[in-house]
Amino acid sequence: MLRHMFRIAALLLSAGLATVASADQPSGQRSVEDVQKIVREYLLKNPEVIFEAVQRHRENQQRLQADRDRAAVKQHAKELLADPDSFVGGNPDGDVTLVEFFDYRCGYCKRFASVLANIMKQDPKLRVVYKEFPVLGEDSFRAAQAALAARGQGYYLEFHEALMKANGPLTDAAIMTVARSVGLDVERLKRDMETPKVLNIISNNRRLATALQVDGTPTLVVGDLIVRGAVPIRDLTAMIAQARAKGS
């Protein structure tokens, strides 16, 4: 924030210099040093001007980002809402869809998992689309592969939830331990993890994330909003209600 304040102050100073210098140019009575002193004294006496400028700048940037997000969500609606390779939880026929980009090694994702579970219990009309988006290294990638491969055995959701609850490093051995605990055939899982389809799903999710300017986890898409980072249950409930009111 301080960096923004200094930048705004510099812009105000430059604007003041340009305005006053332009006004006085014919007579040449004021020097640059005089103008600098005037603007500096004004800012020191009225520091709220800088805070107001910073706040206005932030609000403008947020509006611009929201506009870009809405356009991106509209453009990529099919990949977000109707991708046959993405697991759908909650109510498959729900009236509002929440899309989550997540990483199994992301601590925020793990904490958010319980928030999302509570939301689904409270809202029987919520549809949830899961997008594996491994961004935290090779272990994340292997966990995403395993989760996607588990769909072939009909254990995706159980495995997903177990991985989110798992503590410690998600090594290959740890992933297979979790897989056995939910009833998966581990040898088949290992084979299925390496199939082109599984690898293509992760590649497609990454391309979609890039198109949406998503570079971290968790990231949610609710209606036409993109929410970067975990959110409290109260805020998420409000977003879902807003999307429902819009008919999203």
Is 42 exposed, middle or buried (CB count within 10 Å of its CB: 0-12, 13-18, 19+)?
middle
Q: What is the mean pLDDT of residues 24-52?
A: 72
Distance of alpha carbon 215 from alpha carbon 198, whole angstroms: 21
Q: What is the pLDDT of residue 29?
A: 65
Q: What is the mean pLDDT of residues 35-42?
A: 79
**Over 50: is that where the pLDDT of 24 sits?**
no
Q: List pLDDT tens digits, range 192-245.
A: 999 999 999 999 999 999 999 999 999 999 999 999 998 899 999 999 999 999
Whether 96 contacts 240, CB under 8 Å: yes
Token pair, residue 89, equals 């939880």
Q: What is the pLDDT of residue 9?
A: 53
Phi/psi zone of residue 88: left (φ > 0), alpha (ψ -120 to 50 degrees), beta? beta
Q: What is the pLDDT of residue 157?
A: 97
Q: What is the pLDDT of residue 132?
A: 98
Token pair, residue 154, equals 């009909």
Whether 86 contacts 157, CB under 8 Å: no
Q: List pLDDT tens digits, range 185-207.
A: 999 999 999 999 999 999 999 99
Q: Rounded to a whole number, what is the largest CA-CA distance in the chain?
A: 88
**Over 50: is that where the pLDDT of 170 sits?**
yes
Helix spans in 123-195 (H): 138-150, 156-165, 172-181, 186-193
Q: What is the pLDDT of residue 118?
A: 94
Distance of alpha carbon 48 from alpha carbon 59, whole angstroms: 16
Token pair, residue 196, equals 């082109």
